[in-house]
Amino acid sequence: MAKQPKQTMSRALQRREDIAGYLFMLPSLIFFLGFVIIPMFMCIGMSFTDANLNAKTATTFVGLTNFINLWQDAVFLDALKNTFLLVVVTVPAVTLFSLWVSSAIYKMKMPVLSTFRCIFYLPVVTGSVAVTVVWKWIFDNYTGILNTALKGMGLIEKNINWLGTDGIAIWCIILIMFTTYVGQPIVLYVSALGNVDQGLVEAAQVDGATDLQVFWKIKWPQIMPTTLYIVVITTINTFQCFALIQLLTEGGSGTNTVMFYIYRMAFKLTEQGGHFGYANAMGVVLAIFIAILSAIQFKLGEEK
């Protein structure tokens, strides 16, 4: 008999805590629902319509027409190819470089380590517009420092139009993405490597393991969750690359990406019938690609 009130009290307390917890989550949940979940479903729904800006025409359901048209749209296919090139080059480059730098600096004394972390993290905290403007000056066809330096060294005779030439511009974009993306992975890797169990490392060394063996057998498995996070986040960011393209090339010179084409289709080519629906279909396709690639990365990470 004496136990019953105690249980009731406990359940009431639990309920109160639950309610408080949910209320704390509510603001974020509202934003998440309002700005992520609902727009996501709106995007999916609209991708099956010919929605556009024209107030005179009614939106009609067109089924899979937008998705079928995508695969016959040369601009979209070109944008898709460019997007995959960015991902295929940038993600491994960022991951490997940041791992290499972190391995080299994580054992350094704190002031030196902090200095390195600041240097590599600087492009991350600097606004992307500011970074892009600086790179635009560097790559400028007429007065850019890169052309001036190369000409000064006698390496080129005529200026190279870095951002205006097919086959070059996309690599300039990749270079800029690389410099802006490595900061966070380096900080994460430094932290992950610092948390590797030193007991295991020392035991392996006592047993005669080489540096490579120590890294591959001891450190690599322990930093795998960090690697997985870095790979997935870099992949998503690269797929969604927009500001660089918008500010540097406007999608020209072979740098059009799916994300930029979505923006153009939605907000520039507004006279085109069903442009909102078509842009949303592209968004859905992009999301599917990101989801598939992320799932593969998670699977590979799991197996490791």
Side-chain half-sphere exposure of 55, counting CA atoms within 13 A = 0
Position 233: which residue type? I
- Asked if residue 135 binds another protein (CB under 8 A), the reply is no
| 68 touches 281 (CB < 8 A) | no
CA dist., res. 176 & res. 163, Å (int): 12
Compute the least distance from the CB of residue 146 to another protein, in Å. 13
Instruction: Give, in order, the Cα–Cα distances in Å from 264 to each of 14, 76, 108.
Output: 52, 11, 47
Burial class (CB in 10 A: 0-12, 13-18, 19+), 2: exposed
Interface pick for another protein out of 36, 38, 40, 53 (rule CB under 8 A):
53
Rule CB under 8 A: say whether 250 interacts with another protein: yes
Candidates 12-20, 106-114, 124-132, 206-214 — which segment interacts with another protein by CB under 8 A?
Answer: 12-20
Q: Which stretch binds another protein (CB under 8 A): 96-104, 229-237, 258-266, 294-302?
A: 258-266
Q: 268 vs 304, which CB is nearer to another protein?
A: 268
Considering beta carbons, is residue 17 or 202 the nearer one to another protein? Answer: 17
Pick 38 or 300: Cβ nearer another protein:
38
Residue placing its CB nearer to another protein in the complex, 26 or 296:
26
Stretch that binds another protein, among 23-31, 99-107, 113-121, 229-237 (CB under 8 A): 23-31
Residue 174: count of CB within 10 angstroms of its CB: 19
CA–CA distance, 206 with 187 (Å, rounded to integer): 29
d(CA 289, CA 220): 28
What value, to the nearest 5°, has the Cα angle with vertex 291 and ends 285 and 292? 90
In whole angstroms, how close is the CB of 196 to another protein at the nearest point? 38
Q: Which of 65, 69, 128, 159 binds another protein (CB under 8 A)?
A: 159
The correct pick among 1, 2, 55, 206 for binding another protein (CB under 8 A) is 55
Alpha helices, DSSP H, located in the chain: 3-32, 38-46, 65-70, 74-105, 110-125, 128-139, 145-152, 169-181, 183-194, 198-206, 211-213, 220-222, 224-239, 243-248, 258-267, 275-303
The residues in 74-103 that bind another protein, with binding defined as CB under 8 A, are: none
Our finding on whether 18 is near another protein (CB under 8 A) is no
Q: Determine, following the binding rule CB under 8 A, whether residue 26 of this chain makes contact with another protein.
A: yes
Which listed range, 77-85, 91-99, 259-267, 282-290, lies at the site for another protein (CB under 8 A)?
259-267
Please report how close the Cβ of residue 155 comes to another protein at its closest, in angstroms. 17
Q: 61 in helix, strand or coil?
A: strand
Nearer to another protein, 75 or 203 (CB): 75
Among 10, 34, 42, 122, binds another protein (CB under 8 A): 34
Buried b (16+ CB within 10 A) or exposed e, 97-130: bbbebbbebbeeeeeeeeebbeebeebbeeebee
Interface residues toward another protein, by CB under 8 A: 16-17, 19-20, 23-24, 26-27, 30-31, 34, 53-56, 139-143, 158-159, 161-166, 169, 249-250, 252-253, 263-264, 266-272, 276
